[in-house]
Structure 1
Amino acid sequence: MTLAGKPGTSWTDVYGRARAAAPEAFDSERLLNYWGGRWRAEGTPSQATSPLDGRAIVGPPKLAAPDATRAVRAGLNEHRTWSTASLAERKQRVLAALDELAARRDLLALLLVWEIGKTWKSATADVDRCLDGVRWYCAEIDGMLAGRRPLRGPVSNIASWNYPMSVLMHAMLVQALAGNAAIAKAPTDGGVNCLTLATALVARHGLPLTLVSGSGAELSDALVRSPMIGCLSFVGGRGTGGAIAADLLDSGKRHILEQEGLNCWGVWEFSDWPALSEHIRSSFEYGKQRCTAYPRYVVQRSLFDEFLAAYLPAVQRLTFGHPLAVAAPDDPLPTLDFGPLISDTKAKELRDTVDEAIGRGGVPIHRGDLASGRFLPGQETSAYFAPVCVLEPPPSSPLHHVEPFGPVDSIVLVDTEAELVAAMNASNGALVSSLACDDEATAHRIAGEVQAFKVGINRPRSRGDRAEVFGGRGASWRGAFVGGELLVQAVTAGPPGERPYGHFPSYTLYPPA
């Protein structure tokens, strides 16, 4: 079977359509930054590399620190005006913006495919979750805002590249709905073209958004430390998150810091292997480049043979490759489990990590082969990574205690419940975990000792949508929790002395179940 790129989905076609849809934001060879209600040429243009095939695409226009400070000051001015607008007006403008985003849904999704390597299914889901989630908030926001008011300054958003729409744009639109101006730093690793188009479409309806690009070191004074910022929302790794937390420690500034964790699936006194096998395969969605992916299985030693009989067929059925490759022009885009990693650098890093773990005593249980992927003839494949599973990675390996953020699983064998809990808590806190256990009472008892914000019983847990609360324990989270009413509370002020629910350095407070 000879594959070809789906007609009309080339980078040239997609970028041309984005320029036609928002000529104010896209130049022929560069993007613009947006603040103070205008698209601006300030910032140094750059090229990025598409993980799909290694080609050069348009990258972020990187600002210097003085321009970032100007952008934040303009955002503060917009915030002061917008915070006085009625909720009815804010809601009307947000709903109109959502309609315009929905009209460009497929174009936004194609930009995500090219920029960050999402499959078509994953890319459209990212856009749809943003639109559906914000519509839900528009319907529910009145009661959530009772007795509350906007913050004194805009909300600054710094997020990882993997969910530009359903995490970053979703948060900004809810923040605006609640009466705040919203500032976003475009992720350096990918997603800036999608965010530029989305911001252009939203800005036409008078929403006070700011979109700027640049390195974290260059923009931190403006986006993190500036007293003009009313709240900081961050999604990313523990290293950067820890540095930000240190910056904010004595500031009293409202903050939401979602950080990584090694999410684990424990297997104890369990027998429903067909169900677990399906969960194992679905866990590879987007190549496990998700904060709620499950890269670690902690398995009762006496069940290891049965676990392996369920695990191996699941990973052997995985499909991966170029998300836009088709056998015939009229064919639909392929339904793949995942495409490339975010970059060839990340793929090399994972290969080195796996090789080191095996060299120090880890046992390779499964090693996929790039030859089984779905690729265009002669295309660059350096950002692609076939699934791997390592049994008992040594304690010195990052696979033992750090989230790999790619299609790499590890398995740890245990003999007692105490060992199970200790192995599941190896990373000092996680966002989600799950337990595969036939007896629910036993599962709930063990779950109470697992340091994860959400623990699923015989099912995975996710970040959630709409009313579902999300947070983390240990080093996986700092600051206010989000989801439903808590997201609105995190970006608004309530009664005097109120502190939002969350995980803060000085205390830990979790909302009722």
Structure 2
Amino acid sequence: MLILQALNKQFINGEWRDGLASRKLPDLNPYNGEVITEFQMASLQDIDEAYQAAARAKKEWDEVNPYVKSRILGRAVDYIDAHEEEIIDIIIKELGGTRLKAFFEIGLVKDIIREAATFPVRMEGKILPSPVDGKENRLYRIPAGVVGVISPFNFPFYLSMKSVAPALGAGNGVVLKPHEHTPIMGGTLIGKIFEEAGLPKGLVNVIVTDISEIGDGFVEHPIPRILSFTGSSQVGSHIAQVAAKHFKKAILELGGNSALIVLEDADIEYAVNAAVFSRFTHQGQICMSANRVLVHQDVYDQFLDQYVKKVSSLKVGDPYDPDTVIGPLINDRQVKSLMSTIEEAIGEGATPILKGEVTGNVVAPIILTDVTTDMAIASKELFGPAVCIFKFASEEEAVQMANETPFGLSGAIHTRDLERGAQMAKRIETGMIHINDGTINDEPIVAFGGEKHSGLGRLNGQWSLEEFSTLKWISVQHKPRQFPY
């Protein structure tokens, strides 16, 4: 049985213990404000010990047979299966996620672990020819070393595991720092899962702390060669700069301002369903969410009428209620930031055709029309249950509007002409875009990542294997080479 009080420790070198910092970190339920548990924060010394442990354990992991590595990683899925109801309960308590969201997230986690479990037997090398007589060029794929992972609060179980499991599968040690609002789902639960799966002691370490305690210490530490960060573009930019200064590689999955485009020939009822799912899943706290819905003027009124009816029917409130679709935002700071952005847009001329009440951290759906591309809200990421509806007259205008943002993560286009949609998709400046689907998609073997301010690098499948490993050239001169002097 998973007991929350048993997961409120640092996990360093295979041991569960309190951090060495003087401050404590309360873990709060975002729906009712209750303290779930408390952590003694980690210090810079804890971070050093965690990285040192990962580096030592990585050498032990190097000696494990690849097929054994795969079996160990596979046992992580078995552990999740055996404790799924308890994990769902923690997602509801710590994140304010609904049961639907919990099932969705857990499914993604199991899929990415299964994919990562294939990595140990996919560390393939090559033998390449040479212009030098008698030379054999061997190219080995090897682990990068130690990977530092920093994960966010919105999908912490998955977005931590999305880097942790592939990094392990590629042969690395890992130190994970979850978001301070989701230290269990994004951190210590993952440590427990891999401990039970049978990883070498110290290969995975979990550090629970906040930036005011450690500054850039997690990023600047000399041991990690790769830093994988998921979060805001502002923080991601800072991490990338610090990483570059210390000659580390940064993998960044950052914010989004995705557009879902409805062309005049779209199946309107289907497009409405996709657009609602794309905006209001997990209260809109998803980087791929459709902040903007762009609708052709010929079907605008029909779409808007059905969209408002659908959104108005969504149940808002207690995430423990299985019928609830929209639960709480993670904290009051997020609520205040969202509502400030909404009020600013209304002041600039946007029309709130639906504006629900705010109760604690629960924000009922907000739909704004009459939004123009020069308004601040049009270029921002809305991390909450609010959406902007735009009208366009031509395909060219829709493409231009979709691209008028510093972000480029996801998107969707709805049309009955699939090739028209595919050709239009090529013109949208985004890392991912989906025809006749929602903007929220993530699959274990398909490249995931953004353009512009939405990130650097690609994860999932072979791309994760490449990101978390490196190549080493070893040449063998089988007969003496003639040197010029």
**Which residue matches 1:502?**
none
**Which residue matches 1:37?**
14
Map 1:169-180 onto structure 2 (within 5 A): 169-180=161-172
Q: Percent identity?
A: 23
User: Quick one: distance in 2 between partners of 1:137 and 1:75?
Assistant: 18
Aligned partner of 2:199 among 188, 201, 206:
206
Alignment pair present for 1:295 and 2:295: no
How far off is 1:467 after superposition?
A: 1.0
1:65–1:393 Cα change, 3 Å:
farther
Q: Deviations over 1:318-345 (max 9, x none)?
A: 12210224xxxxxxxx132221111122
* Alpha-carbon contact 1:151-1:230 (below 8 Å) kept: no
**Stretches of structure 1 lacking an aligned partner (at least 5 in a row):** 1-16, 326-333, 371-380, 498-513
How far off is 1:396 after superposition?
A: 6.3
Aligned partner of 2:267 among 268, 272, 276:
272
How far off is 1:149 after superposition?
A: 4.0
How far off is 1:159 after superposition?
A: 1.1
1:180 counterpart letter in structure 2: N
* Alpha-carbon contact 2:97-2:319 (below 8 Å) kept: yes
1:405–1:496 Cα change, 3 Å:
farther
1:56–1:210 Cα change, 3 Å:
same
Alignment pair present for 1:90 and 2:69: yes
**Stretches of structure 2 lacking an aligned partner (at least 5 in a row):** 126-139, 475-485
2:418 counterpart letter in structure 1: E
User: Quick one: distance in 2 between partners of 1:313 and 1:257?
Assistant: 37
User: Quick one: distance in 1 between partners of 2:80 and 2:417?
Assistant: 46
Map 1:66-215 onto structure 2 (within 5 A): 66-138=45-117, 140-141=118-119, 144-147=122-125, 148-192=140-184, 195-204=187-196, 205-207=198-200, 208-215=203-210
SS at match of 2:324: coil
Map 1:328-407 onto structure 2 (within 5 A): 334-369=322-357, 381-393=359-371, 397-407=375-385
**Which residue matches 1:320?**
316
Map 1:423-442 onto structure 2 (within 5 A): 423-442=401-420
SS at match of 1:73: helix
1:165–1:192 Cα change, 3 Å:
same
Bigger shift: 413-422 or 214-223?
214-223
**Which residue matches 2:135?**
none
1:33–1:150 Cα change, 3 Å:
farther
Alignment pair present for 1:254 and 2:249: yes
User: Quick one: distance in 1 between partners of 2:195 and 2:233?
Assistant: 32
Q: Deviations over 1:31-60 (max 9, x none)?
A: 211111211222432213211212222244
User: Quick one: distance in 2 between partners of 1:79 and 1:360?
Assistant: 55
SS at match of 2:229: strand
1:241 counterpart letter in structure 2: G
TM-score normalised according to structure 1 size = 0.83
SS at match of 1:167: helix
User: Quick one: distance in 2 between partners of 1:262 and 1:392?
Assistant: 18
Number of corresponding residues? 454
1:306–1:464 Cα change, 3 Å:
same
SS at match of 2:341: helix
User: Quick one: distance in 1 between partners of 2:145 and 2:158?
Assistant: 24
How far off is 1:240 after superposition?
A: 0.1
SS at match of 2:363: coil
SS at match of 2:159: helix
Q: Deviations over 1:410-449 (max 9, x none)?
A: 0122333332122111222321111123333432332121
Q: Deviations over 1:443-478 (max 9, x none)?
A: 233212111111212212434222111111111112
User: Quick one: distance in 2 between partners of 1:236 and 1:472?
Assistant: 13
SS at match of 2:319: coil
How far off is 1:142 after superposition?
A: 5.2
1:472 counterpart letter in structure 2: G
* Alpha-carbon contact 1:76-1:154 (below 8 Å) kept: yes
**Which residue matches 1:18?**
2
1:206–1:384 Cα change, 3 Å:
same
Q: Deviations over 1:71-125 (max 9, x none)?
A: 2222222222223322122122222333223211211221111011001121133
Name segments (4+ residues, structure 1) moved above 6 Å. Answer: none
Please tell me whether Structure 1 or Structure 2 has the larger radius of gyration of its CA atoms.
Answer: 2
Aligned partner of 2:218 among 193, 214, 223:
223
User: Quick one: distance in 1 between partners of 2:305 and 2:403?
Assistant: 26
How far off is 1:494 after superposition?
A: 2.5
How far off is 1:270 after superposition?
A: 2.6
1:71 counterpart letter in structure 2: A
TM-score normalised according to structure 2 size = 0.87
SS at match of 1:449: coil
**Which residue matches 1:375?**
none
**Which residue matches 1:501?**
none
* Alpha-carbon contact 2:112-2:460 (below 8 Å) kept: no
Aligned partner of 2:450 among 462, 468, 472:
472
* Alpha-carbon contact 1:111-1:194 (below 8 Å) kept: no
User: Quick one: distance in 1 between partners of 2:466 and 2:397?
Assistant: 38
**Which residue matches 2:478?**
none
Q: How large is the RMSD of aligned CA atoms in angstroms?
A: 2.3
1:357 counterpart letter in structure 2: A
